[in-house]
């Protein structure tokens, strides 16, 4: 893999810190120099009186916030991102050495790139035409396989956190991010739902990959010598039943990602520890497979979203899915969710997913109830996926209606559904 090792000026810093409305400033780079800037942030209050236009510009603005009547919620989103960018830009001086070359002290196989961290993020150097795809984890993680399935022949860029993968795209270090949102056994990956709202990337596709877990340990170690099993919490949840049988006395500990757990065992020569990870991780980090296929359900599948700075133009010539997020205010009544869902039901639009998250700005509302005391309502932000393209009138009409019932509505993306049979995925990828 091509090493990305370059020092370049971090002149994005003052722009973002002093001008929050320009947080979506777009930079193009030629030979590592910034050559153009464009800003697209505040294009809210959009409605669909005549449907969505066919040009990219029309669609881009339609994918910005559709309506935001909750100014404070908006501000907190802006504030949150500004804070993160400030953290990213917290380098002590303007020039950063972004090195993805493995350090020499690391005794895992040479040639493996190190994940990006918060402190590595700075404007990207020129990188030719190869698409660069950020994922969370290290090589051998399932997310790397998902990035490869989503964008064959791309360059996968490991990031140490989900947030860093979002920022890598926003700061033009990567062109796309591929991040997990749900697993058939472990359920939703809530962190990424929250980050979708906090950041301004667009969903441009989805990929689903079968997740085939192995129990890995150093060569020669037996399963009955394992005192500790480490892995990503999702992977541990997906193998709970098998681990109870295979290593009943072992402590179970969470790790950043599956492959990093394998790497950690190899790097530290831990003979009492096993990792739940992929067969590819075993190969990359020189571990043996103690048990194969240990997911508690053979049909274990994780769904990943493909994210980009710009939306794609929705089409009708193949099955599309659209993802939205909305919230309502107290005065909009108690049956908002029912009304929203019926806007889709009456138009025969199937919902494929609904997820609720605590409202970012106001998670709990306290209501005085006379002499009885106070009621504490939890406030939610709802994420809905539905099976229709935003190029279809029925989807546009449904959203126009949803807009009437809600105080905040944003289209996260309208994108082709992953219709690929799982069997087409090469086994070494999972």
- Name the residues that contact ligand PRE, by CB under 6 A: 137, 141-143, 180, 183, 189, 211, 232, 234-235, 257-259, 302
- How far apart (Å, rounded) are the C-alpha atoms in residues 362 and 365? 7
* Least distance to ligand PRE, CB of residue 216, Å: 12
- How far apart (Å, rounded) are the C-alpha atoms in residues 274 and 265? 7
Nearest CA to 209 among 292, 150, 297, 295? 150
- How far apart (Å, rounded) are the C-alpha atoms in residues 336 and 340? 6
* Least distance to ligand PRE, CB of residue 2, Å: 22
Sequence-distant (≥ 6) Cβ neighbours of residue 385 within 8 angstroms:
321, 322, 323, 351, 352, 353, 354
Backbone angles phi and psi of 330, in degrees to 5: -50, -45
| Known catalytic membership, residue 302 | yes
* Least distance to ligand PRE, CB of residue 344, Å: 28
* Least distance to ligand PRE, CB of residue 138, Å: 9
Q: What is the DSSP string of 9-45?
A: E-THHHHHHH-GGGTT-EEEEETTEEEEEE-------
* Least distance to ligand PRE, CB of residue 385, Å: 17
Residue with smaller CB distance to ligand PRE, 302 or 361: 302
Query: What SS3 class is residue 219?
Result: coil
* Least distance to ligand PRE, CB of residue 211, Å: 5
* Least distance to ligand PRE, CB of residue 280, Å: 10
Query: What SS3 class is residue 429?
Result: helix
- How far apart (Å, rounded) are the C-alpha atoms in residues 86 and 96? 15
Q: Cα angle at 208 between 204 and 209, to 5 degrees?
A: 135
Residue with smaller CB distance to ligand PRE, 197 or 261: 261
Residue with smaller CB distance to ligand PRE, 64 or 159: 159
Residue with smaller CB distance to ligand PRE, 123 or 140: 140
Residue with smaller CB distance to ligand PRE, 232 or 410: 232
Cα separations (Å) of 135 from 106, 144, 192, 309, 362? 21, 6, 12, 15, 30
Catalytic residue among 166, 304, 320, 386: 304
Residue with smaller CB distance to ligand PRE, 143 or 247: 143
Say how many CA atoms lie within 13 Å of 37 toward its Cβ: 13
Supply the Cα-derived Rg of the chain in whole angstroms.
23
Cα separations (Å) of 124 from 8, 92, 173, 341? 8, 18, 4, 42
Catalytic residue among 239, 302, 381, 406: 302
Residue with smaller CB distance to ligand PRE, 68 or 183: 183
* 43 alpha carbon, distance to own chain's centre: 23
* Least distance to ligand PRE, CB of residue 228, Å: 17
In contact, 144 and 180? CB cutoff 8 Å = no
Residue with smaller CB distance to ligand PRE, 68 or 143: 143
End-to-end CA distance of the chain, in Å? 20
Q: Please state whether beta strands 301-308 and 373-378 pair in parallel, antiparallel, or not at all (unpaired).
A: unpaired
- How far apart (Å, rounded) are the C-alpha atoms in residues 93 and 294? 48
| Known catalytic membership, residue 46 | no
Task: Cite the active site residues.
Answer: 302, 304
């Amino acid at each position: 893999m091509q090493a990305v090792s370059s020092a370049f000026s971090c002149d994005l810093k003052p722009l973002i810190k002093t001008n929050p409305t320009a947080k979506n400033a777009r930079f193009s780079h030629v030979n590592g120099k910034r050559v153009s800037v464009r800003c697209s942030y505040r294009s809210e209050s959009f409605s669909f009186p005549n449907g969505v236009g066919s040009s990219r510009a029309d669609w881009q603005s339609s994918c910005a916030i559709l309506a935001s009547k909750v100014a404070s919620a908006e501000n907190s989103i802006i504030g949150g991102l500004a804070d993160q960018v400030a953290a990213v830009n917290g380098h002590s001086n303007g020039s950063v050495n972004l090195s993805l070359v493995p350090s020499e002290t690391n005794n895992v196989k040479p040639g493996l790139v190190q994940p990006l961290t918060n402190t590595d993020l700075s404007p990207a150097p020129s990188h030719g035409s190869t698409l660069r795809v950020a994922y969370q984890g290290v090589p051998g993680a399932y997310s790397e396989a998902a990035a490869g399935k989503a964008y064959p022949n791309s360059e996968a860029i490991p990031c140490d956190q989900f947030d860093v993968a979002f920022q890598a795209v926003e700061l033009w270090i990567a062109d796309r991010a591929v991040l997990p949102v749900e697993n058939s056994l472990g359920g939703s990956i809530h962190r990424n739902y929250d980050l979708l709202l906090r950041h301004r990337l667009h969903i441009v596709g989805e990929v689903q990959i079968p997740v085939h877990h192995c129990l890995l340990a150093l060569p020669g170690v037996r399963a009955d010598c394992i005192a500790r099993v480490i892995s990503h919490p999702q992977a541990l949840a997906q193998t709970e039943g098998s681990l109870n049988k295979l290593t009943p006395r072992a402590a179970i500990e969470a790790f950043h990602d599956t492959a990093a757990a394998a790497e950690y065992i190899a790097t530290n020569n831990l003979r009492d520890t096993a990792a739940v990870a992929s067969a590819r991780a075993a190969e990359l980090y020189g571990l043996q497979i103690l048990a194969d296929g240990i997911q508690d359900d053979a049909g274990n599948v994780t769904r990943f979203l493909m994210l980009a700075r710009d939306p794609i133009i929705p089409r009708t010539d193949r099955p599309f899915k659209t993802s939205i997020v909305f919230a309502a205010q107290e005065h909009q009544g108690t049956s908002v969710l029912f009304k929203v869902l019926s806007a889709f039901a009456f138009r025969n639009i199937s919902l494929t997913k609904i997820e609720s998250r605590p409202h970012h700005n106001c998670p709990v509302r306290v209501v005085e109830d006379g002499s009885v005391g106070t009621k504490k309502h939890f406030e939610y932000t709802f994420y809905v996926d539905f099976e229709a393209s935003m190029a279809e009138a029925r989807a546009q009409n449904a959203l126009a209606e949803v807009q009437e019932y809600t105080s905040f509505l944003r289209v996260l993306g309208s994108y082709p559904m992953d219709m690929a049979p799982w069997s087409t995925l090469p086994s070494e990828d999972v």
